[in-house]
Amino acid sequence: MPEIKIQCPAKINLTLKVTGRRADGFHDIESIMQTISLYDYLNISAEPADSFKINLSGNSDEIPYDETNLVYKAAKLFFYNIHSFMDYEININIEKNIPIAAGLAGGSTDGAGTLYGLNKLLNEPLTKEQLHKLCAELGSDLNVCLEGGTLLAKGRGEIIEPVEYKEQTVSLIKPNNLGISAKEAYTKFSNKLALGGEGRSDFVNDLEWAIIVDYPQLQTIKKLYPKSVMSGSGSTYYILGDTFNPISAYQIFNNLKTIPHGVREVLFC
């Protein structure tokens, strides 16, 4: 049975400015995003079958293994676009190492990795440009995770252009049992902006400005590490060129690195 293993990196937002509200309900942003050396892994196999089927499994009890998972949606979209639903049973095992609902694009990178991995496994029926179009259709951060490195992302995050890459040490800290959805963060941003923009310019990340007042756990991080910055919609903070000391009830990843690539193959058998 052909099988491929895909390494799927997390991302951080070096900057994040919300530039407007879109007609589709999303927000336009300008954000410099950077992939880092914290990875999920996908083991993907495909075998001939009488009917098309996608089977998901994994090591996390925090994510669904059904059609609501972005990996499932990515696999289905991929086969729809190569006009083949009848010949394969797809098995994808998701090894989760990136925290869930943490502002690190854990779901998005797995979705991008699925598209990339299936394309490799089936001898690249789609071009890189076509993969990027599918990424944009699926979500906001998939294009960044597919391409990787340092990127300026605009629109919903799907319009990307390269920025000069610099290797740096990155450390992460996240409160245990605290996940913040993008919907919550952007809603609070809109509500707070309607009351005025006081203090917004003090933050690198507009969403941090919008939500920090509601979460004592985030205020604790900021008090202890004033130079730390929230990634995406949170609840993870990062610091460049430094490390975090252990804190009870917080998850810490010290001494990670920025990386110049996105999702990629690590094993083919």
Check whether residue 112 and residue 67 sit in a common domain: yes
9 lies in the same domain as 132: yes
Question: What integer pLDDT is reported at residue 120 of this predicted model?
Answer: 96
C-beta of residue 38 within 8 angstroms of C-beta of residue 256: yes
Instruction: Decide: 100 and 63 in contact? Cβ < 8 Å.
Output: yes
Condensed to tens digits (0 to 9), the pLDDT of residues 202-247 reads: 999 999 999 999 999 999 999 999 999 999 999 999 999 999 999 9
Q: Tokens at residue 248, please?
A: 């009870």
pLDDT at res. 24: 78
Task: Check: CB of residue 141 under 8 Å from CB of residue 108.
Answer: yes
Q: How many whole angstroms separate alpha carbon 12 and alpha carbon 204?
A: 12
- CATH number of the domain within which 145 lies: 3.30.230.10
Name the catalytic one among 11, 174, 188, 192.
11
- Determine whether 141 is an active site residue: yes
List 141, 174, 192, 206, catalytic entry: 141
Residue 223 catalytic? Answer: no
Q: Would you say residue 265 lies in a domain?
A: no
Last residue of a domain, one of 98, 129, 163: 163
3-class SS of residue 164: coil
Are 151 and 20 within one domain?
Answer: yes
- Which residues of the chain, if any, have pLDDT below 50? 268-269
Radius of gyration of the chain (CA): 19
Return the DSSP state at 217: H
Question: Are 178 and 208 members of one domain?
Answer: yes
Two tokens at 96?
């989760």
Report the alpha-carbon distance of residue 77 to residue 162 in Å, rounded: 26
Q: Please report the pLDDT score of residue 268 as a whole number.
A: 47
State residue 44's pLDDT score: 97
**144 & 209 share domain:** no
Residues spanned by the domain of 122:
3-163
Query: Does 95 share its domain with 7?
Result: yes
